Amino acid sequence: MRIVDIAEVTASIASDIRNAYIDFSKMDVSVVKITTDVIRDGKPVVGYGFNSNGRYAQGGIMRDRILPRLRAASPDDLRDPERDNLDPFRAWDIMMANEKPGGHGERSVAVGVVDMALWDIVAKIEDKPLHILLAERYGTGRAEPTAFVYAAGGYYYPGKDIEALQAEMRGYLAMGYDTVKMKIGGAPLADDIKRIEAVIAILDGDGSRLAVDANGRFDLDTAIAYARALDPYGLKWYEEAGDPLDYALQATLGEIYQGPMATGENLFSHQDARNLLRYGGMRPDRDILQFDPALSYGLVEYLRTLAVMKQAGWSPRRCIPHGGHQFALSIAAGLGLGGNESYPGIFAPFGGFADDAPLSASRVDLPAVPGVGFETKAKLMDLYGRLFD
């Protein structure tokens, strides 16, 4: 078997929403389609990949370095020695050939996009949903049929008042979510507290059903001021208060804020994860790690990250990946993570899960089709058709 074509384009997901740090008016993503010579149901097996929101398209890196290395590889270089299939680990080594260690940033996104498409292919060739394949190879042997998901929203945008925020959150509850997340840090603290109280009011007064996200905006003093103001509400978690690499800030915050904290979506390697666990004061009994496989070199690297966590005494249940896409959902169900983020109606058609997937009490069913299950999203497949066919 061999790869016969790799196609890559940039697609827009521009929006007028913003968080405390960036707006999404010029946001785009890299989109990849990999075609093999393996035939299933009369058609070539194809894998699809894209990066999560919040990081821009990486077409330059892919076109100049990552994809030429894959195209130059022989079929034997990419073949799984134990199976008649592609080997994502060998492909990862090829993509990263002649790359210096460190500098985990945009490069990790480029590799993650391709890695997603490769795992989609591997599961399709084995005729299994990816979450089942992962459970069999790297998990307990039994995949979970549903996964916890929460609705991430509460963005700032022009003209959005508290009533509009409440209406948004009521919409998520009507969809079947019982846990939601909202942005903070884009308004003064007093205003954000009013927004938080307004959302808790429609959650039957239960702050544990609400997470808040500062998107790395705060310095230490501001992070502490928010922590003290948030503490009485018993929130689900307080997310990414400061710069993702400011481990001292995170550690200091953990000494003051007793509730759960969350971070990790802007860390891109197992080395970054190890440093966070060593120096960031994260607590394995309550805190959440949000590493996003699509942004951090893909599933191959994510497995290394889980190994680092295990060595540090952390359960995979403390992982709830950022991204809101089906790839992370498959990983969550296959490897026994704590759940997955979801962006209802935002960053379409890349975000979200199968069109007909039942959602109740913040748990969603996994698709039963081979691969990641992208084919269960009609608008995503329509977009791929327009981009490539």
Residue spans in the chain of domains classed CATH 3.30.390.10: 3-127
For domain 137-388, is the CATH number 3.40.50.970?
A: no
Q: Is 204 helix (H, G, I), strand (E, B) or coil?
A: coil
| Burial of 77 (C-beta count, 10 Å sphere; 0-12/13-18/19+) | middle
- Residue 387 confidence (pLDDT) above 90: yes
pLDDT in tens, 2-24: 999 999 999 999 999 999 999 99
CA-to-CA distance for 373 and 293, rounded, in angstroms? 16
Closest CA to 3 of 38, 43, 40: 38
Integer-rounded Cα Rg, in Å, for the chain is 20
| pLDDT for 279 beyond 90 | yes
Could you confirm whether domain 3-127 is CATH 3.40.640.10?
no
pLDDT tens digits, one per residue of 169-186 = 999 999 999 999 999 999
Residues 6+ away with beta carbon under 8 Å from 300: 88, 89, 92, 115
Query: What's the pLDDT score for residue 389?
Result: 81
Q: Per-residue pLDDT for 1 more than 90?
A: no
Question: Is 322 in the active site?
Answer: yes
pTM for the model = 0.97
Closest of 115, 56, 24 to residue 343, by C-alpha: 24
The pLDDT tens digits of the residues spanning 131-173 come to: 999 999 999 999 999 999 999 999 999 999 999 999 999 999 9
CA distance 84 to 179: 42
DSSP for 182-203, please give it.
Answer: EE-SSS-HHHHHHHHHHHHHHT
The answer to whether residue 298 scores a pLDDT higher than 90 is: yes
For the cut 90, the answer to whether the pLDDT of residue 103 exceeds it is no
Q: Report which DSSP code applies to 354.
A: -
Render 298-349 in DSSP notation, one character per residue: HHHHHHHHHHHHHHTT--GGGB--SS-SHHHHHHHHHHT-S-EEE-TTSSTT
> Is 100 an annotated catalytic residue?
no
Active-site hit among 33, 181, 183, 270: 183
Question: Are 63 and 334 spatial neighbours (Cβ–Cβ below 8 Å)?
Answer: no
pLDDT at 338 over 90: yes
Q: In the prediction, which pLDDT does 105 show?
A: 86
CATH 3.20.20.120 spans which residues of the chain?
137-388
Cis peptide before 129 (omega within 30 of 0): no
pLDDT in tens, 57-95: 999 999 999 999 999 999 999 999 999 999 999 999 999
Selecting among 124, 270, 322, 377, the annotated active-site residue is 322
Rounded percentage of the chain residues whose pLDDT exceeds 90: 97
